[in-house]
Amino acid sequence: PSGHAGGKILGVLALFLVMVWYSIYREDRYIQLFYFPVQETNKTTCPLGEVERKAAQLIGNYTRDHPLFLQLKDYFWVKTPSLYELPYGTKGSEDVLLRLLSITHYSLPESIQSLKCRRCAVVGNGHRLRNSSMGDTINTYDVVIRYSPGPGPPLPPQCHPQLGLTPVMSQRLNNAPVHGYEQDVGSKTTMRLFYPESAHFDPRTENNPDTLLVLVPFKPMDFQWMEAILNDKKRVRKGFWKQPPLIWDANPEQVRILNPYYMEVTAAKLLNLPMKQPRKVKQKPTTGLLAITLALHFCDLVHIAGFGYPDSANKKQTIHYYEQITLKSMAASEHNVSHEAVAIKRMLELGLVKNLTYF
Ligand SMILES: *[C@@H]1O[C@H](CO)[C@@H](O)[C@H](O)[C@H]1NC(C)=O
Ligand SMILES: *[C@@H]1O[C@H](CO)[C@@H](O)[C@H](O)[C@H]1NC(C)=O
Ligand SMILES: *[C@@H]1O[C@H](CO)[C@@H](O)[C@H](O)[C@H]1NC(C)=O
Ligand SMILES: *[C@@H]1O[C@H](CO)[C@@H](O)[C@H](O)[C@H]1NC(C)=O
Ligand SMILES: *[C@@H]1O[C@H](CO)[C@@H](O)[C@H](O)[C@H]1NC(C)=O
């Protein structure tokens, strides 16, 4: 009877619908699994080539061909002539570099080298990071670059190990700490930029075991300090504007020497500073702007957090997330932070970098 045939047709139809649904479902799963892995925000969208394109608009003769770190072979097999002295080149520092580079390394860890997309966060030390709850967001980036800033309270004399106190006491002074501030600044550190006068942090507790400790050389003494620390040679005290640590428990395998090329680019291309300055009006880029420049030559995406200073009229506002110093402490420095702010604003307007906190 016809009712029986109708049932059959319905059955076939139902089977057909199930098959259609199943194939769509499979397709969906396929797309989900292979095209859009369910992950944190936008891990899959990599704006490949965008940083290069936009950076070339801002930086004349932009190239990614220069190595990030100095390596021994450049000073041993071929004597690479450098145009400038520190901080823009290595002219005149070749001998101490030969010694220092023979005990440090220059390679990038395989875990970074193999990344298909280098999503980078450059984390400053600005007061705006306080209570920002940015820690989890910062930790999601593939590469987190931090730096220890120079200005800060002068070291109390009792904290100098050479005066008879233990290194444990000198560690109370902590520059750009992560420990205790994880919620606001995160805990991941891929690279930490520092120089002797700013190296007041415990290399082990304030970093991850694989953090690269990147020395930013400003003067030949900085190479000598690093070599003395790593080779446990006699420490030199003269020639620093603030006492650097005399004991510094770092693994030499994690130490890198930043190529001064990036300081040159920061000064010449981003700040338009004259490369040959009369000795008196020496203005140098801050390590913060340098860290951004480095990221622009290395990353596929650059986000910044904790940059910027309070209004210069605001004399009482503290400038760092971890210590009570004001803009006054920057006054005597060789940096012009308002000039640098203009450079960073230009990057933001171009969409070359993005700010994660107010800038
Ligand atoms: C994620 O990607 C979408 C679309 O590409 C974009 O609108 C959004 O701003 C991105 N979010 C983040 C956090 O980058
Ligand atoms: C780019 O390089 C050329 C050749 O070395 C040089 O003449 C020119 O001044 C450079 N331009 C900038 C903006 O640095
Ligand atoms: C951060 O939050 C704590 C506790 O809520 C508060 O006491 C402190 O004043 C806040 N600090 C800043 C700089 O907003
Ligand atoms: C610092 O930079 C600002 C803005 O570029 C400029 O107006 C000012 O004269 C500079 N100050 C010094 C001391 O060079
Ligand atoms: C970035 O800075 C601008 C001011 O220059 C601000 O309006 C914006 O809210 C900031 N973005 C974030 C995510 O804080």
Residue 236, domain CATH: 3.90.1480.20
- Least Cα distance to 242 among 177, 326, 327, 156 occurs for 156
Ligand 2 pocket check for 60: Cβ under 6 Å: yes
Q: Tell me what pLDDT residue 316 has.
A: 85
- Domain extent at residue 29: 1-34
What is the rounded CA–CA span in Å between residue 325 and residue 151?
Answer: 9
Ligand 5 pocket check for 97: Cβ under 6 Å: no
Question: Are both 124 and 18 inside the same structural domain?
Answer: no
Q: In what order do the strands lie in the sheet with 143-147?
A: 255-257, 212-215, 191-194, 143-147, 119-123, 301-305, 354-355
pLDDT, tens digit (0-9, with 9 covering 90-100), for 29-42: 555 555 554 445 55
Question: Are both 205 and 334 inside the same structural domain?
Answer: yes
- The ligand whose atoms approach the alpha carbon of 342 most closely is 4
pLDDT, tens digit (0-9, with 9 covering 90-100), for 167-217: 433 444 689 999 999 999 999 999 999 999 999 999 988 999 999 999 999
Distance (Å) from CA 141 to ligand 1 centroid: 14
Nearest CA to ligand 3 atom 6: 131
Q: Tell me what pLDDT residue 269 has.
A: 97
Q: What is the tally of structural domains in the chain? A: 2
Distance (Å) from CA 152 to ligand 3 centroid: 21
What is the rounded CA–CA span in Å between residue 341 and residue 330?
Answer: 14
Question: At residue 130, does pLDDT exceed 90?
Answer: yes
Q: Tell me what pLDDT residue 88 has.
A: 94
Question: Are both 217 and 127 inside the same structural domain?
Answer: yes
Q: Percent of the chain beyond pLDDT 90?
A: 65
Nearest CA to ligand 3 atom 1: 131
Q: What pTM does this model have? A: 0.83
Question: Are both 23 and 51 inside the same structural domain?
Answer: no
